Amino acid sequence: MGVPEIVLGEGKSVEHLVGILRALRSAGLGAIVSRPSGSQLGAVPALLREGVPIRVLADGRILRLEGPLGVEYRRGRVGILTAGTSDVPFAEEARVVLEELGIEVTVAYDIGVAGLHRLLRALRSVERRRPELYLVFAGREGALPTVVAGLVHAPVIGVPTSIGYGRGGRGEAALNAMLQSCAPLGVMNIDAAVPAALFAAQHFAPTGPRRLRGVGPPRLR
């Protein structure tokens, strides 16, 4: 159908996922699997042996079935930032997906707003690559995307992460803070790293005619 297959590993049985991957392979298509479970990861060696080519990426949080994803993007530039070190695994999911879609990524991790000087230094360094768009990951109070959107002249997308305990924990405070930001942010759901990457990628979609028929956007399955 011409749309890239992004398969959510969560909530699928190993058999179900293996079936999907074999079917895509037979059809000559590639795919990205997000957040495979431990037992799904355990099925990879067997799949490799039977000739289904899969790469394990982002510390096992992303599987890449080799083959065309059926969608074209121009080579855009994205900056990915995180407030803390606990946000990094989510940021890495987004980085890997964007790179698989042919987009260039520059990262700066662990630059929370309680250490402004470090933040400014890191941001200046990322800006040198002139990202056209930023994905900013933050848990707890979720202030980093607001501060960044006050400093750069590019779209900033906030991705709250499920970091933090007590009231407002598990990303709730961060999500609401981003929705309430006094700077204009696009906001994703808590931990929604892959949707964030796909939304970012859409900014580099071709703008030519007839895109409504068949060559659609990525689909989460």
User: Using the rule CB under 8 A, which residue among 86, 107, 109, 122 binds a second copy?
Assistant: 86
Is 31 an interacting residue with respect to a second copy (CB under 8 A)?
Answer: no
Alpha helices by DSSP H, the chain:
14-26, 38-42, 44-49, 88-100, 116-127, 144-149, 172-179, 193-202
Instruction: Give the integer Cα–Cα distance in Å for 175 and 167.
Output: 13
Which residues, 202 to 221, sit near a second copy by CB under 8 A?
Answer: 202-203, 205-209, 211-212, 215-221
User: Does the footprint of a second copy cover residue 33 (CB under 8 A)?
Assistant: no
User: Which pair of tokens denotes residue 213?
Assistant: 């028929």
Backbone angles phi, psi at 95, to 5 degrees: -60, -45
To the nearest whole angstrom, how small is the minimum distance from the Cβ of residue 123 to a second copy? Answer: 7
Which residues in 128-167 contact a second copy (CB under 8 A)? 130, 132-133, 140-143, 146-147, 149-157, 160, 162-167
- Whether 138 and 84 have beta carbons less than 8 Å apart is answered as yes
Task: Please say which residue, 57 or 174, places its beta carbon nearer to a second copy.
Answer: 174
Task: Show contacts with a second copy in window 162-191 (CB under 8 A).
Answer: 162-169, 171-191
Q: Extract the tokens encoding 27.
A: 């059809």
Element counts in the chain: helices (H) and strands (E):
8, 10
Out of 23, 53, 116, 121, the only residue in the binding site for a second copy (CB under 8 A) is 116
DSSP secondary structure string, 190-219? TT-HHHHHHHHHHTTS---TTTTSS----E
Binding to a second copy by residue 38, rule CB under 8 A? no
Our CB check for a second copy shows the closer of 45 and 184 to be 184
Residue closer to a second copy (CB basis): 51 or 214: 214
